[in-house]
Structure 1
Amino acid sequence: MLSTGLPQGAVPKLERPGPLRERVYEALLELITTRALQPGQHLVESELAGHLGVSRQPVREALQRLNTEGWVDLRPAQGAFVHEPTEEEADQLLTVRTLLEAEAARLAAANADKAGLNALYELLAQGKLAVAKDDVDAAVALNARFHAKVMELAGNAVLSELAAQVDRRVRWYYTPVARQRGHQSWVEHEAMIHAIAQRDEELATRLMREHTEHTRRSYHARQRS
C-alpha cells in the first residue's frame, strides 16, 4: 500500500489530450470528495503522479490550487495533506446547504412538470437499489443527482449557481454518513417527491429542511463518536 492509500491500478491513467493540469486537478478533487483520499492523509507528489500517469509538475500545480480552495493543506517542510474540516466548517457549510435546498424544494413544488417528476422517481428507484446492494459510492452519487435534479426543477439559475458552489463539499461531508443514513435517506426523498407532485410548497420546504438537518446531525454525531 502506498502512503497515498491508493492501491496500484485503482486510479485510471489520464488521457493526454486537453488541459492536463485541469484533468489532474479534477481527478484529485474527485478522490478527495469521495474520500478515496482521507482527511489528514499525506499526499506525495511522486506517488500521485505515478497513479495518474503524469509528471510531478501538473500534480504540484493541482495541489497548489486545491490548497487555495481549502481542500488541501500545504505545510512547510512536511508537504501536502488532505484538509481536515473542523466542526465549525462543516456546520456552516451544511447550514447554508439547508437554506438553499429548502428553497429549491419550494420552487420545485411550484414549477415541476411531469417529466421532472418522472426523473425524480427514476433516481429514487436507482437510489433504493444502490442501498439494497450496499453500494455506498453509487448511493452517494445518486443522492447528489437527486438533489441536483430538485435544484434544476426549481428553475432559478442564481440558486443553482450557489448550490453548485457547495455541491462537492456536501458530497465530502455526506460520504461518511451515507451508509448510516442509507434507506432512511431515500424514504425522505420519496416523501419530498410526493410533496412536489402535490404542489405543496410548504410541505416540500419542511421535508427538505428536515432531511438536510438529519444529514448535518448525523455528520456531527459521527465525528464525535
Structure 2
Amino acid sequence: MSQPASPLPDRGPTGRRTAKGSLSSTAAKRVERPAPLRQVVYEALAELIINRTLEPGQHLVEADLAEYLGVSRQPVREALQRLQSEGWVDLRPAQGAFVHLPTDEEADQLLSVRSVLETHSAKLAAGNATADDVVRLWELQKAGITALRAEDTEGLVAANAALHAFITQLSGNAVLAELIGLVDRRVRWYYTPIARPRGKDAWNEHDELINAISRGNAEAAEEIMARHTERTRQAYHERPEAPRS
C-alpha cells in the first residue's frame, strides 16, 4: 500500500530540508495587503468631518456618501457605526446619521487637556532640541506663514498640526506623544473654524515658542505654550458661529 506524500519540505543531498521559499531566506518578504475597504472609507469620512467638508449637524445619507466615495453602501454603513462609537457621528432612531454637533463644554474639556499635555511637551522639547531640530521648526513655521498669506485654511490646519506634532516628538516622551496623538484629530476639528481668525496671532506665538526652544529656555517655552493654547481655547468660544447666551 503506497504511503501518502509527505507534507514536509524536500531534503537536499545533505539530508537538510530545502523548502522552496524558505522562511529564513533573506529574499522572502511579507505580502503587503491593502487596507480593508471599510477602513479606507472610515478614514475618508473622518477626514471629511475633521476638515468640515461635512459640517457639524449635517445629515449623512448613506447612498449619497457611497456615490461620492465610489463604494457600496455596506462599508459606508460600517464606517458610520464606528464613527458613532468614537463620537464623530450621531445615529438618531428613525432619522438617520448626523455629524456630531460639539458642545462648547466638550471643546473646553478637550482643549484644556490639550493645553496641559502640550505645555509639558514644549518644556521638554526646549531641553532636547538640537540645532537641526530648530532648523526643522523654522521650516514648519514657514509653511504655516505661507498658508496664512494664501488664506489657505486647510494648509493652516495641517501646518499647525505638523508644528505641534514635531514639538511633541522633540519632547522625547513616548507616553506623552501617545496621549497627544489620541486628541490630535479632534483638536484639528475644533481648530479648523478658527485657523484663519487666529491667523497672525497664532503664528506670532509660534515664532516666540521656537525662539524659546532654540535658546533651550524650558520655562519660557512652557509659559508661551500655555498662553498659546489658552488663547486658542478662548478663540474657539469667541468664533463667529458660536452660540450666544
Task: Give the TM-score of the pair, scaled to structure 2.
Answer: 0.84
Shift of 1:17: 4.5
Return the alpha-carbon distance in structure 1 between the equivalents of residues 213 and 62 of structure 2. 47
Calculate percent identity across the aligned residue pairs.
Answer: 60
In the other structure, the counterpart of 2:7 is: none
Return the alpha-carbon distance in structure 2 between the equivalents of residues 115 and 19 of structure 1. 38
1:1-225 alignment to 2 at 5 Å? 17-222=34-239, 223-224=242-243
What RMSD in Å do the two structures reach over aligned CA positions? 1.1
Shift of 1:146: 0.4
Shift of 1:97: 0.3
SS at match of 1:80: strand
Return the alpha-carbon distance in structure 1 between the equivalents of residues 183 and 224 of structure 2. 20
Return the alpha-carbon distance in structure 2 between the equivalents of residues 158 and 135 of structure 1. 33
Return the alpha-carbon distance in structure 1 between the equivalents of residues 243 and 157 of structure 2. 22
Return the alpha-carbon distance in structure 1 between the equivalents of residues 221 and 83 of structure 2. 36
Return the alpha-carbon distance in structure 1 between the equivalents of residues 120 and 142 of structure 2. 24
Amino acid at match of 1:165: L
Aligned residues: 210
Shift of 1:187: 0.6
Return the alpha-carbon distance in structure 2 between the equivalents of residues 216 and 150 of structure 1. 19
SS at match of 1:54: coil
Shift of 1:18: 2.9
- Structure 1 unpaired stretches of 5+: 1-15
Question: Could you say if the C-alpha distance between residues 52 and 62 of structure 1 is closer, same or farther in structure 2, counting changes exceeding 3 Å?
Answer: same
Return the alpha-carbon distance in structure 2 between the equivalents of residues 28 and 136 of structure 1. 19
- Structure 2 unpaired stretches of 5+: 1-32
SS at match of 1:73: strand
Shift of 1:30: 0.3
Return the alpha-carbon distance in structure 1 between the equivalents of residues 47 and 136 of structure 2. 25
Return the alpha-carbon distance in structure 2 between the equivalents of residues 128 and 87 of structure 1. 29
Shift of 1:211: 0.4
Q: Which structure has the greater CA radius of gyration?
A: 2
Return the alpha-carbon distance in structure 2 between the equivalents of residues 105 and 31 of structure 1. 30
Shift of 1:224: 3.5
Runs of 4+ in 1 over 4 A off after TM superposition: none
Shift of 1:183: 1.4
SS at match of 2:238: helix
Return the alpha-carbon distance in structure 1 between the equivalents of residues 85 and 119 of structure 2. 30
1:28-68 Cα offsets, whole Å, 9 max, x none, are 00000111110000000000000100000000000000000
Return the alpha-carbon distance in structure 2 between the equivalents of residues 17 and 95 of structure 1. 37
Shift of 1:19: 0.7
1:155-213 Cα offsets, whole Å, 9 max, x none, are 10000000000000000000000110011111100100000011111100010010011
